[in-house]
């Protein structure tokens, strides 16, 4: 009896300790439920909230509220000035940026040209490890800031003229520089962000101070939410709502359930599982709008099986894109027959020409004449919901080309890229691209140039490289677009990749909000959104 009682007295505290140890700091409780007056928008947990370190959609959505870009894009996706008064250049090499007067940071600091220069230098300095580092590579002096022990800490191409004016000297003339400035890597950062020149405070990211229409309300609550509220001293277009809550979700399906129950206001991406039921579930609150994503099938051009362009064209002609976008994607994506996105100035339909048309008989003839491989392999990453369309494509290839075809899943996209970089034969593989700013060069350069950052398939055509280069060095936009289009025509001849689909924003909102608009970058327009009633 004595032993038992003792044991009971021992077990109890042990159990309690276990519970308490786990509770730790569970006490703060926070605000609990959501503020009913705030508009809630779904995001994922952002990786970072520093302008020069943010490249994914969730972070860029939050920053879009906190900062105001130098330029934004109009309905034709041409840039117009927002925080800048003017951005001019006579030779496209030396650019003069004049800032609008009256912009202040949320801590009251006046926005000056130095805030831009400091932020950009910080982003370009390699030891800071910023994700958007490469956006500054066109600016003169960039190479001096690279490597483990860079020679310089500041870009030699950035010069302050006065408090509201600075000049940017590029290494080479670049016609699209003004367009490029709409990207979030080019936001300014206040003096308060830095603890010493060139050293960012660790705490800055937890509550970024910007000069945009909204300011942080409290700090970033990781994995939970980010609250922002209207910044009344903002000189530009005033937002219609007072508070916005970015609610962090791990799974889109959970967010979708919340939108249906009016528990969440905006879901920027409807999960694939719910695409077939969403139009009836949401009625007129189910919406689509253009965006820039581009899905394609890449070929390792170093692989003998696929090195003949005719083989690639034949495969392209054997794929019925309309059927796949309809049956697999329920028309949430559009069939692609060009090499750049339709949202761009300079886009033309059907640049792939005959190779983009579905023509099984021609395809089979061409494939046999060109001596294509007896077995086609399509590799994809198994974690991205690609299985359905790859299977459909594989079946079409089997039926239309009379060859064996198989889809092979790699666990992650990183595994696929590792294999491709090591030149392991993976067959054809899926790739995707989302633009950073709306110019054709943002597709042609990274995807198809010999040294393109996303050119994993080894495509190289000196003529193409030359045309893209000439395009970006052109004197006028029209001239540039003409060159880019000539370059795209070369792609149609060489067919280094097969265009498959262009993406769309497929989004939904609750009955409590209206005027929900989304931009090309999958971001909700925070200034336009309004509470219903």
Partner 1 sequence: MFRYILRRLLQMVLAFFGTTLIVYALMFAGQGDPIQALAGERPVTEAQRAYLTEKYHLDATGVGGFFYRYFDYVRSLLQGDLGQSLTGRQIGDILQAAWPVTLKLALIALAVAIIFGVTAGVVAGIRRASIFDNSTLVLTLLVLGIPTIVLAPLAQYLLGVKWQLFPPTAGSQPTFYALLLPGIVLGSLSLATALRLTRTSVAENLRADYVRTARSKGLVKRRIVTVHVLRNSLIPVVTFLGVELGNLMSGAIITEGVFNIPGVGFNLFRGIRTEDGPLVVGIVSVLVVVYLVSNLVVDVLYAVLDPRIRYE
Separation between Cα atoms, residue 144 and residue 166, nearest integer Å: 21
Decide: is 31 part of the binding site for partner 1 (CB under 8 A).
yes
Single out the segment in contact with partner 1 by CB under 8 A; choices: 19-27, 207-215, 344-352, 475-483: 19-27
Single out the segment in contact with partner 1 by CB under 8 A; choices: 126-134, 159-167, 337-345, 512-520: 126-134
CA-derived radius of gyration, the chain: 26
Q: Nearer to partner 1 by C-beta: 169 or 221?
A: 221
Q: Which residues of 144-179 are buried (b: 16+ CB within 10 A; e: fewer)?
A: bbeeeeeeeebbebbeeeeebbbebbbeebbbbbbb
Angle (CA) 161-162-167 rounded to 5° is 30
Decide: is 8 part of the binding site for partner 1 (CB under 8 A).
yes
Contacting residues for 145 by C-beta, under 8 A, at least 6 apart: 121, 124, 125, 126, 151, 152, 153, 154, 155
Question: Least distance (Å) from partner 1 to the CB of residue 131?
Answer: 6
Site string for partner 1, 145-174 (x = CB under 8 A): -x-x--------------------------
Q: Nearer to partner 1 by C-beta: 113 or 132?
A: 132
Q: Nearer to partner 1 by C-beta: 322 or 383?
A: 383
Binding test (CB under 8 A) with partner 1, winner from 261, 284, 304, 533 = 261
Number of H helices, E strands in the chain: 14, 21
DSSP conformation letters of 362-416: HHHHHHHHHT--SEEEEEEETTTT-HHHHHHHHHHHHHHH-SEEEEEEESSHHHH
Decide: is 243 part of the binding site for partner 1 (CB under 8 A).
no
Which residue has tokens 């290839």? 397
State the Cα torsion 421-422-426-430 to the nearest 10°: -10
Contacting residues for 460 by C-beta, under 8 A, at least 6 apart: 301, 450
Which neighbouring-strand residues pair with 227? 245
Single out the segment in contact with partner 1 by CB under 8 A; choices: 173-181, 219-227, 301-309, 350-358: 219-227
| Conformational region of residue 50, where left means phi above 0, alpha means psi within -120 to 50, and beta covers everything else | beta
Decide: is 458 part of the binding site for partner 1 (CB under 8 A).
no
Q: Nearer to partner 1 by C-beta: 26 or 462?
A: 26
Decide: is 258 part of the binding site for partner 1 (CB under 8 A).
yes
- 34 token code pair: 């959501």
Single out the segment in contact with partner 1 by CB under 8 A; choices: 8-16, 69-77, 338-346, 483-491: 8-16
The site for partner 1, by CB under 8 A, has a size of 68
Single out the segment in contact with partner 1 by CB under 8 A; choices: 120-128, 164-172, 190-198, 495-503: 120-128
Separation between Cα atoms, residue 122 and residue 189, nearest integer Å: 10
Decide: is 199 part of the binding site for partner 1 (CB under 8 A).
no
Site string for partner 1, 397-436 (x = CB under 8 A): ---------------xxxx-xx------------xx----
- 269 token code pair: 């991406």
Residues that bind partner 1 (CB under 8 A): 1, 3-4, 6-8, 10-11, 14-15, 17-19, 22-26, 29-34, 47-48, 55-56, 126-131, 133-134, 146, 148, 221-225, 247-251, 253-255, 257-258, 260-261, 263, 383, 412-415, 417-418, 431-432, 446, 453-454
């Amino acid at each position: 009896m004595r032993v038992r009682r003792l044991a009971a007295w021992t077990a109890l505290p042990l159990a309690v300790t276990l519970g308490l140890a786990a509770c730790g700091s569970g006490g703060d409780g926070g605000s609990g439920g959501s503020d009913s007056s705030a508009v809630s928008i779904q995001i994922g947990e952002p990786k970072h909230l520093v302008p020069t370190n943010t490249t994914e959609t969730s972070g860029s959505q939050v920053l879009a509220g906190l900062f105001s870009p130098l330029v934004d894009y109009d309905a034709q996706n041409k840039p117009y000035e927002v925080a800048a008064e003017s951005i001019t250049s006579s030779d496209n090499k030396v650019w003069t940026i004049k800032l609008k007067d009256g912009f202040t940071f949320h801590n009251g600091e006046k926005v000056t040209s130095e805030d831009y220069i400091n932020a950009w230098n910080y982003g370009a300095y390699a030891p800071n490890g910023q994700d958007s580092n490469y956006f500054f590579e066109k600016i003169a002096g960039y190479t001096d800031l690279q490597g483990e022990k860079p020679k310089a800490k500041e870009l030699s191409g950035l010069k302050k003229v006065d408090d509201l004016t600075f000049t940017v000297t590029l290494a080479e003339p670049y016609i699209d520089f003004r367009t490029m400035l709409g990207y979030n890597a080019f936001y300014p950062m206040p003096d308060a962000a830095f603890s010493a020149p060139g050293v960012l405070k660790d705490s800055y990211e937890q509550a970024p101070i910007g000069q945009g229409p909204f300011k942080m309300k409290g700090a970033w609550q990781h994995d939970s939410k980010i609250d922002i509220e209207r910044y009344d001293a903002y000189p530009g277009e005033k937002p219609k709502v007072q508070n916005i809550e970015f609610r962090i979700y791990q799974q889109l399906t959970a967010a979708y359930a919340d939108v249906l129950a009016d528990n969440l206001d905006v879901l920027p991406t409807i999960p694939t599982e719910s695409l077939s039921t969403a139009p009836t579930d949401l009625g007129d609150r189910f919406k689509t709008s253009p965006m820039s994503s581009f899905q394609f099938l890449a070929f390792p051009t170093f692989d003998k099986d696929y090195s003949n362009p005719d083989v690639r064209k034949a495969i392209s002609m054997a794929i019925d894109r309309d059927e796949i976008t309809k049956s697999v994607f329920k028309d949430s994506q559009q069939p692609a027959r060009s090499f750049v996105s339709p949202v761009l100035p300079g886009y033309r339909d059907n640049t792939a020409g005959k190779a983009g048309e579905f023509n099984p008989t021609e395809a089979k003839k061409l494939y046999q004449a060109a001596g294509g491989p007896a077995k086609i392999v399509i590799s994809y990453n198994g974690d991205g919901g690609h299985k359905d369309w790859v299977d459909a494509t594989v079946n079409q290839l089997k039926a239309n080309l009379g060859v064996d075809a198989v889809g092979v899943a790699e666990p992650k996209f990183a595994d696929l890229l590792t294999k491709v970089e090591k030149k392991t034969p993976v067959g054809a593989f899926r790739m995707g691209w989302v633009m950073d700013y709306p110019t054709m060069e943002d597709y042609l350069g990274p995807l198809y140039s010999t040294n393109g950052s996303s050119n994993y398939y080894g495509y190289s055509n000196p003529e193409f490289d030359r045309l893209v280069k000439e395009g970006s060095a052109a004197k006028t936009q029209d001239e540039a677009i003409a060159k880019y289009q000539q370059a795209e025509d070369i792609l149609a001849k060489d067919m280094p990749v097969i265009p498959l689909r262009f993406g769309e924003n497929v989004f939904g909102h609750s009955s409590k909000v209206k005027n929900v608009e989304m931009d090309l970058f999958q971001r909700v327009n925070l200034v336009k959104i309004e509470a219903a009633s």
